[in-house]
Homo-oligomer: A and B are copies of this chain.
Amino acid sequence: MSLGTLLGILVGIILFLQAIFLSTDQYGSFLHIPSLIMVIGGTIAATFIAYNERYALQALKAVISIFSKTKVDQNILLADVEKIISWGEIVNKGGIRELENKWDEKEYDNPVIKFAMEMVFMGEKSETIYKETENLVETMYDRKMISVEVLDTMSSFAPSFGMIGTLVGLVILLNDMSDPAALGAGMSIALITTLYGVLFQNLLFKPAARKIEQKNGMYKFQDMLLVEGITMLPDKKHPIIIQNHLNSFLDPASHFDVAGGG
């Protein structure tokens, strides 16, 4: 559970409601279902025109994923480095076969490890393994980044459909000004769609796009770290060399030190 995301959304909504409750006792005027349908419906409709059903649905699912904690941090990266260095030690002493004998495929569910190690055990050259696994990581990343593009597009659709709603309201309003007293209330309703559009853009679509972009980036970083390490195995590089190489990807403050054990 990502506490930051949850708190962010709760605080955002509370701030918004408090701004209303402090200023008026006619809360009802801020919940206007037809306006809500206009903005959300229009945004989703345009999204389904703009993107394959599969991508549009994938993006909507990705929004839910922003509440779950990213499973990549400095400690997990350090654990990955430690794991790869220990493999390097096995290979350095007993060769690839030794590592293959000790290998338990079920232990690792990361497809990059599985794909790369299969080629290592097949005896492929490290350049080939690097090229193929890097390609795997890149195409996985590209596929996941489509959700970010969809959400960024939705983030630009939302205020546009808010504006469309407001324009519809204004056209109706201005067309018949027989009752000047109703003018204010009419404009008030007309502005609701713009308000909804800007709210959805800034509290939902845009932050979700940024959060997912960031998560994808972190998973790609972890995957590339694994690739960088695993592709040093076939060349039986000394564990210290592996350590130096992998450390160059980490924060200097927490560089792995094989001598000190971490």
Contact = CB atoms under 8 A, between A and B. Distances in A.
Given A51-B214, A172-B24, A157 B202 contact: yes
A141 to B, nearest CB: 12
B203 A45 contact: yes
Contact of A165 (B19, B30, B118, B153): B19
A175 interface: yes
Contacts of A249: 135-136, 139
B66 A214 contact: no
Nearest to A24: B172
Chain A interface mostly = helix
A48 interface: yes
Contacts of A7: 45, 48
Interface residues of A, number: 105
A9 B202 contact: no
A216 interface: no
A191 interface: yes
13 contacts: A9-B49, A11-B45, A15-B42, A18-B34, A18-B37, A29-B175, A46-B202, A46-B206, A49-B203, A132-B248, A133-B248, A160-B202, A177-B181
Given A136-B252, A175-B188, 19 more contacts: A7-B45, A11-B44, A11-B48, A12-B45, A15-B38, A18-B37, A30-B171, A42-B202, A50-B207, A50-B208, A52-B211, A115-B248, A115-B252, A132-B244, A139-B250, A160-B202, A164-B195, A164-B199, A167-B198
